[in-house]
Structures are given as C-alpha cells and as structure tokens.
Amino acid sequence: MPTVVFADIVGSTGLFEKLGDSNASLLMTQLTGVLSRVFEQHNGRVVKLLGDGVFAVFPEAGDAVTACVSLQARFKAEPVIPIDGGRPIQMQMGVESGELVEIEGDCFGDAVNSAARLADLAGADQILTTQNVWNEILTTQRPALRSLGPMHLRGKAQATHIYRVEWQTDRDMDATAMGASMYAPVKQQSLALTVGGRTQIFDISAAAITMGRSTEATLPILDPRVSRVHATITNRAGQIVLSDTSSFGTWVYFGNQVEAVALRRTECYLVGYGQLSLGCKIDADMAPLVAFEVS
C-alpha cells in the first residue's frame, strides 16, 4: 500500500527571523536537498518541496520508515548547525499508509492529510505513524514502534491509533510502554496534579478538570504563555484524556522521556506519570509545568 511521508524542519519560522531570508532560504534549500536524496535512495518519490520540508510517497511502508530513521540518525550523527551557532537542525516526521489519488504528479487522499497532521503533532527528532503503517511493515520492524494510544488528529472525526518510531537504540523505553494499558480500563483511578510543589488529587470520574490562566480553572496557572482555558482532562470510558485547547500548545513528557508528545488542538491519553509543559517546551525559561501521576 502506498505510504506518505511529511518531513518538516523544526522551528523554520524562527530560523528566518534569526538568519535573515537569504541565509535561511539557502539553508532550507540545502536541507530539503538532503531529504530528497535520502528518500530517493529508499525507493521514495518526492512529490513536492514545502519550503521547510518534503512531501514524499513510497510504494512500501517499510521503506518509508527506514528512510525516516536513516534521516534522523544522520542529523544526530552529523548535526547541521546554523551559521548563527544556534541549536542543531531537527526534524519532525509523519508517516501514513493508504490509498492515493494522483493528478498531474501531485497526490491526494486521507493518507496525505493524516501524514501532514502527524508531522505537525510530532516533536523534535520524532517520527509518528499509525496502525495502518504498523499493519504494513515487516514483523521485524514492529518492535521499534511504541504505542501512544488513540488520539484525535485535527480534522478527523475518529480517533487514530498513534505510534512513535523509537529510532534511538540508547533510549530508555520503559516509561512509554503504554500500549498494553490503553485498552483495559480500570474501574477506579485517581489523578495527582502538582504545580509549584502543591499536589491535588482528583477523582477522574467527576467533572472535567480544567487548567489555564482563568481564575475559574480547576487548576489555575498564572503565566502569559498559558491560555485562559489551556487544556482539559476528562474521563472517557475509564481512560484519562488530556485535550489541548490552547493558543500555543501543550507538551506531554511521559515517565523519564526527554521527548514529548506535542499537542496542538489535539489530545492524548494520560497513563503512568510524567510532566505537562503548557505553552512552551520543558526547557524554556521557567516553563509552566504540571506533574501528573495516574494511580
């Protein structure tokens, strides 16, 4: 089944602001050239360049995943540093399999839309994919796909089962082994949320929990990066669902993971423990953080 890949450069808007249009455009051209060559080496076809990324199609899902892993590993082993000496270039990628319609060299279909949404959802250095891709790849590749459970992608009515490709072999994966727990709801769960050293315990069978800058929020957080109603936490069929409703997004760090699930008007299930960073990533100056623990 055809497989679509969207590969985007993280923070491209900021690069144009820092480097200027000429230098940033040259860097983007060089980077998209690298992406195109690697995709073509793995039997992919670049459909179009997106300015700060690439839209490609592969005949086989396994080749698409392998190409994405190859690129992420290359950027890690050989970092590309902008001329201003800033942080190395990072990629975020989305991969989806499905039927495509080709018109005059361009491709259309639900898989294209889903791959673009997955790339938007992915954090830096991340590759996100779906159950469709898991079904298509070789069984030897499947252990590298770590379940993040069902999530609602923007523009889709039904939840999509999302997987993250764990391409870094030295990663501590223990905290993200969530797949087994996603479909066995327990009758009673509690949720502990900690802000500024103060912990509150919530019964998730009760009304929705709101977090935001509003004084009427269940968990008020006074920070300009936090929206008035930034996120809500609800009980859905025994599962704890975090929904981002903010202007700037919510980053979810499960367990001891250093990479986040980035939510932008989307949602994910909360399991185990971790931290939520509201309106910015966790490494931002005095980031507004909420620690969570499900028990």
- Give the tokens for residue 73: 């590993």
Candidates 85, 86, 87; CA nearest to 76 is: 87
Mean pLDDT, the chain, as a whole number? 82
User: End of a domain among 171, 205, 231?
Assistant: 171
**Are residues 222 and 150 both part of a single domain?**
no
182 is a domain residue: no
Residue 176 lies in a domain: no
Residues 127 and 10 in one domain: yes
Average pLDDT over residues 266-271: 81
Give a yes or no: residue 177 inside a domain: no
Query: Mean pLDDT: which of 66-80, 149-163, 272-286 is highest?
Result: 272-286
140 and 196 in one domain?
Answer: no
Residue 139 lies in a domain: yes
**Mean per-residue pLDDT, 94-107:** 87
Question: What's the average model confidence in pLDDT over 144-171?
Answer: 77
Tell me, yes or no, whether 165 and 251 share the same domain: no
Total domain count for the chain?
2
65 and 108 fall within a common domain: yes
DSSP per-residue codes, the chain: --EEEEEEETTHHHHHHHH-HHHHHHHHHHHHHHHHHHHHHTT-EEEEE-SSEEEEEESSHHHHHHHHHHHHHHHHHS----TT--SPP-EEEEEEE---EEETTEEESHHHHHHHHHHHH--TTEEEEEHHHHHHS-TTTGGGEEEEEEE--TT-SS-EEEEEE---TT---GGG--GGGTT---S--EEEEEETTEEEEEETTSSPEEEESSTTSSEE---TTS-TT-EEEEEETTEEEEEE-SSS-EEEEETT-SS-EEESS-EEE--SEEEEEESS-TTSTT--EEEEEE-
Token pair recorded at residue 203: 């019964």
Bigger pLDDT: 248 vs 206: 248
Strands 190-195 and 198-203: antiparallel
What share of the chain in percent tops pLDDT 90? Answer: 34
Q: Tell me whether residue 179 is in a domain.
A: no
Shared domain for 13 and 129, answered yes or no, is yes
Of 171, 201, 226, the one marking the end of a domain is 171
Phi, psi for residue 109 in degrees, rounded to 5: 145, 170
117 with 52, same domain: the answer is yes
Do 92 and 214 reside in the same domain of the chain? Answer: no
- Predicted pLDDT of residue 172: 42
Q: Is residue 178 part of a domain?
A: no
Q: Looking at the structure, do residues 152 and 257 belong to the same domain, yes or no?
A: no
Tens digit of pLDDT for each residue in 227-264? 999 999 988 767 788 999 999 999 998 877 777 888 88
Lowest mean pLDDT among 20-34, 52-66, 101-115, 239-253: 20-34
Is 184 a domain residue? no
Q: In this structure, are 146 and 235 located in the same domain?
A: no
On whether residue 183 sits in a domain, the answer given is: no
Q: What is the pLDDT of residue 181?
A: 37
The residue length of the chain stands at 295
Same-domain status, 55 and 93: yes
Q: 209 to each of 9, 186, 214, 220, 290, how far by Cα in Å?
A: 34, 19, 13, 11, 13
What is the CATH classification number for the domain harbouring 149?
A: 3.30.70.1230
Under 8 Å between Cβ of 147 and 178: yes
Q: What confidence category does residue 176 fall into, taking pLDDT thresholds of 50, 70 and 90?
A: very low
How far apart are the C-alpha atoms of 120 and 247, rounded to whole Å? 15
Q: What is the CATH number of the domain that holds 215?
A: 2.60.200.20
- Report, as an integer, the average pLDDT of 274-282: 94
Token pair, residue 182, equals 């996603």
Judge if 225 and 165 occupy the same domain.
Answer: no
Note the pLDDT of residue 146. 84
Residue 65 pLDDT class (50, 70, 90 cuts): very high
Domain boundary among 138, 171, 204: 171
**Structural domain of residue 36, as residue ranges?**
3-171
